[in-house]
C-alpha cells in the first residue's frame, strides 16, 4: 500500500459512524501501521490518498475520514454525493453506536448515489469481554440492508485495516468491470435482435411476394 497519485482507477470512499468508534484509528493503522489509543477524534474531516495494488492494477482510494459528531453532520453531507463506497463503522462494545448505523445508512441513502457500495465494520473486536453487539447481529444487519461486505476488525491487533481497504478496492473495481460487461452484452444483444428482426421481415416479405405472384393473380 502506497500514498501516490499514480493509479489506473480512482474511487472516492468515505468512513462514517459515531465519534469514538475507531474510524481514524483504523485508517492510521492502515497508513502507518501504528495504533494510538489516545488519538483525538477527527474534527470535520480528513483526506487521504491511498493506493492499493490489485493484481496488475493500481487503485487509488480517495479516502475521507468524517468526524461522526452531530454538530458536523451538515458538513459531512456534502461528501456523500461523490462517494463510490461508504464504510460504516460501529464499536462492538457500544450498543448505541450499532443502533446509530440505521441513522448513518439513511443519511447515505438520502444524500449519496443509489449505486454507492456499502461496507459494515464492527470495530474493536479485541474488546471481546466488553462486547455488546454479537457478530451474528452485525452480519444479519448487513445482509438485510444490502451491504456488500461485513467484517469485524481491530485497529490494535491484526491486519484488518489493510484488509478492509483492499476489499473496498476490489468491490469497486469488480463492480465497474461487471457494469462494463453488462453494457457490452446489452449492446451485443441489441444488435443481434435488430438483425433477426430484419431477417424475419425480409423472409416475410419474400413469402408474401411468392404467394401473390401466382398465375391466377396475373
Q: How far apart are CA 204 and CA 155, in angstroms?
A: 70
CATH of the domain at 103: 3.40.50.300
The pLDDT value given to residue 191: 60
Range of the structural domain that residue 184 is part of: 180-217
Q: How far apart are CA 69 and CA 99, in angstroms?
A: 15
The pLDDT value given to residue 197: 43
With contact defined as beta carbons under 8 Å apart, do 116 and 147 qualify? no
125 and 208 within one domain: no
Q: Residue 109 in 3-state DSSP? A: helix
Enclosing H/E stretch for 15: strand 9-16
The pLDDT value given to residue 133: 98
Bridge-partner residues for 85, per DSSP? Answer: 13, 117
With contact defined as beta carbons under 8 Å apart, do 168 and 61 qualify? yes
98 and 206 within one domain: no
Residue ranges of the chain with pLDDT lower than 70? 1-5, 34-45, 67-77, 185, 188, 190-218
118 and 13 within one domain: yes
Per-residue model confidence as pLDDT tens digits over 68-104: 554 455 665 677 888 999 999 999 999 999 999 999 9
Q: Residue 94 in 3-state DSSP? A: coil
Bridge-partner residues for 61, per DSSP? Answer: 11, 50
The pLDDT value given to residue 7: 84
Q: How far apart are CA 40 and CA 8, in angstroms?
A: 34
The pLDDT value given to residue 213: 37
Residue 1, domain member (yes or no): no
Cell 469497486 belongs to residue: 172
Residue 131, domain member (yes or no): yes
The pLDDT value given to residue 37: 57
Q: How far apart are CA 188 and CA 152, in angstroms?
A: 42
Length of the chain equals 218
Q: How far apart are CA 72 and CA 60, in angstroms?
A: 26
153 and 63 within one domain: yes
Residue 2, domain member (yes or no): no
The pLDDT value given to residue 218: 34
The pLDDT value given to residue 94: 97
The pLDDT value given to residue 137: 98
Instruction: Retrieve residue 102's grid coordinates.
Output: 440505521
138 and 117 within one domain: yes
The pLDDT value given to residue 45: 66
The pLDDT value given to residue 107: 87
194 and 152 within one domain: no
Amino acid at each position: 500500500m502506497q500514498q501516490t497519485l499514480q493509479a489506473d482507477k480512482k474511487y472516492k470512499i468515505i468512513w462514517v459512524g459515531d465519534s469514538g468508534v475507531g474510524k481514524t484509528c483504523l485508517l492510521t493503522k492502515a497508513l502507518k501501521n501504528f495504533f494510538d489509543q489516545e488519538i483525538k477524534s477527527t474534527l470535520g474531516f480528513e483526506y487521504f490518498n491511498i493506493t492499493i495494488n490489485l493484481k496488475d492494477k493500481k487503485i487509488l482510494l480517495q479516502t475521507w475520514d468524517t468526524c461522526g459528531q452531530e454538530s458536523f453532520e451538515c458538513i459531512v453531507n456534502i461528501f456523500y454525493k461523490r462517494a463510490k463506497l461508504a464504510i460504516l463503522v460501529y464499536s462492538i462494545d457500544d450498543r448505541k453506536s450499532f443502533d446509530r448505523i440505521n441513522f448513518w445508512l439513511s443519511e447515505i441513502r438520502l444524500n449519496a448515489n443509489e449505486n454507492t457500495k456499502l461496507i459494515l465494520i464492527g470495530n474493536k473486536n479485541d474488546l471481546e469481554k466488553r462486547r455488546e453487539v454479537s457478530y451474528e447481529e452485525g452480519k444479519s444487519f448487513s445482509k438485510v440492508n444490502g451491504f456488500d461486505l461485513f467484517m469485524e476488525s481491530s485497529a490494535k491487533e491484526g491486519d484488518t485495516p489493510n484488509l478492509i481497504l483492499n476489499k473496498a478496492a476490489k468491490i469497486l473495481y469488480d463492480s465497474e468491470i461487471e457494469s462494463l460487461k453488462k453494457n457490452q452484452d446489452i449492446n451485443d444483444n441489441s444488435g443481434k435482435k435488430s438483425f433477426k428482426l430484419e431477417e424475419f421481415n425480409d423472409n416475410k416479405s419474400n413469402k408474401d411476394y411468392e404467394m401473390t405472384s401466382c398465375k391466377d393473380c396475373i
